[in-house]
Amino acid sequence: MKPRKIPQRKCVACQEMMPKKELIRIVRSPAGDILIDLTGKKPGRGAYLCGKVGCFKLAKKSKAFERALKVPVSADIYDRLEQDFIKVEDEFQANKEFQGDDEDGG
Q: Which residues bind Zn ion (CB under 5 A)?
A: 11, 13-14, 50, 55
Q: Minimum distance between the CB of residue 34 and Zn ion, rounded to whole angstroms?
A: 18
14-22 CB contacts, 8 Å cutoff, 24+ apart: 14/50, 14/55, 14/58, 16/50, 18/48, 18/50, 20/48, 21/96, 21/99, 22/50, 22/51, 22/96
Q: Minimum distance between the CB of residue 63 and Zn ion, rounded to whole angstroms?
A: 15
C-beta closer to Zn ion: residue 3 or 61: 61
Q: Minimum distance between the CB of residue 16 and Zn ion, rounded to whole angstroms?
A: 5
The letter for the amino acid at 26 is I
Task: Please report the sign of the dihedral spanned by the C-alpha atoms of residue 78, residue 80, residue 83, residue 88.
Answer: negative
C-beta closer to Zn ion: residue 30 or 86: 86
C-beta closer to Zn ion: residue 14 or 35: 14
